[in-house]
Structure 1
Amino acid sequence: MDRLDSEILGILQEDARISYRDLGVRVGLSANAAADRVRRMRREGVIRGFTTLVDPAADTRAGLIVFIDVTLRLDTTNEDFEKAVLKLPGITEVVHVTGGHDYLLRARAADPPALDGLLRRLKREAGVAQSSTRIALRSAR
């Protein structure tokens, strides 16, 4: 990932339907070169689709990157949780894990109040009984 890839990711997060021509103009590349970069990032798994960023650490814009351990309520199935959590804004990865929690979530929040809102929605809308949140301070590359 270089500066252009990060810039492309930011633009795609704002407008996933942007044409390769317009994307190229915004980052100073030809349409073909922009398309090649997007295809490469999809192959490498950086982009899973055009609505979800797989590696939020690649996005250098402001905001919090958080890891949330969640334990589901007894009346919540894995399928119901996964369906509900993927609809919430900011969730970038959902991993079913072993250990003391049911899932590990990776998410992005603009600021602490936005994170608070996300945590409240997890409990209200996704069937979370308990959560434990860690904020990423930096990422080694």
Structure 2
Amino acid sequence: MDRLDSEILGVLQRDARISYRDLGVRVGLSANAAADRVRRLRREGVIRGFTTLVDPAAAGSREGLVVFIDVTLRLDTTNEEFEAVVLRLPGITEVVHVTGAHDYLVRARAADPAALDTLLRRLKREAGVAQSSTRIALRAAR
């Protein structure tokens, strides 16, 4: 990876739908050269994919709570076992293995506090969670 690859990644992180022509203009390349670099970055696994961020309320979602759950695993639970279970639970949108006092940070959506309670109970019962600490998102700046 060189300086141009880093610039391309920065532009794509802000706008993954940018045309190759506009991307090339932003980083000083032709459209074909920009496209070739993006294809190479994808082939090499630097770019793993493209995502669409959806505003749940605008999309009619009834799942009103976005939560961040700090998770500490039981001593008899492996990371692989936890990940296999938690990724199948409804409402889980992201699972990140982290450093610090907790083992994982889990991002999830829940329709209401009762649904959140059910999710937390399932994490402890099925996914090997010893302790959790939950924060509810109030709003997100974009």
Task: Please indicate the TM-score interval, normalised by the length of the shorter structure.
Answer: 0.5 to 0.7
| 1:94 alignment partner, SS class | strand
Say if 1:119 and 1:44 are closer, same or farther in 2 by CA, change over 3 A.
same
Residues 38-53 of structure 1: matches in 2 within 5 Å? Answer: 43-46=49-52
Count of paired positions: 91
Shift of 1:87: 1.1
CA RMSD of superposed structures (Å) = 1.6
Shift of 1:64: 0.3
| 1:65 alignment partner, SS class | strand
Question: Which residue matches 2:132?
Answer: 131
* Aligned sequence identity (%): 77
Residues 1-141 of structure 1: matches in 2 within 5 Å? Answer: 43-46=49-52, 55=53, 58-60=55-57, 61-62=61-62, 63-141=64-142
- Flag structure 2 segments of 5+ consecutive residues without an equivalent: 1-47
| 2:75 alignment partner, SS class | coil
| 2:101 alignment partner, SS class | coil
Shift of 1:45: 2.2
Shift of 1:59: 1.8
Shift of 1:116: 0.2
TM-score (norm 1): 0.61
Shift of 1:43: 4.8
| 2:99 alignment partner, SS class | coil
TM-score (norm 2): 0.60
